[in-house]
Amino acid sequence: MSRRYKGTSRFANTARKYEQDSNDIDIKLKACDINLFIRLLEGYENIVMIIPLEPKEGLVKLRPSPDTGDDVREILKTLPIEFEILG
């Protein structure tokens, strides 16, 4: 079984300093589901950048490119994990 990421990364801290891109999608889910969520989205190669902001609290930022934003939103509708889109 793979280990769950438990800390905050420099990339996550840097991502917070900059103004949110209009395509960014903030997600809140159960902390125990983050690993599966990330793995499922990684299966769609190069469609979205996944930034775990606060893994212990279940906060993840998705940063799709301008041309893949709609595709990412459609993929999110099909995932078998409960989550909330924050903005």
Residue 4 resides in a domain:
no
User: What is the per-residue pLDDT for 73?
Assistant: 92
Residue 32 resides in a domain:
yes
**How many separate domains does the chain show?**
1
Residue 66 resides in a domain:
yes
Q: What is the pLDDT along the chain (87 residues), one digit of tens a residue?
A: 556 555 556 655 555 555 556 789 999 999 999 999 999 999 988 899 998 888 889 999 999 988 898 999 999 999 999 999 996
Contacts of range 10-14, beta carbons closer than 8 Å, 24 or more positions apart: 11/51, 12/51, 12/52, 12/53, 12/54, 12/61
pTM: 0.72
Q: What does the chain come to in residues?
A: 87
| 50, β-bridge pairs | 62
Residue 46 resides in a domain:
yes
Q: Which CATH number characterizes residue 25's domain? A: 3.30.70
Domain that holds residue 20: 10-85
Residue 17 resides in a domain:
yes
Residue 3 resides in a domain:
no
| Pair 81, 33: CB distance under 8 Å | yes
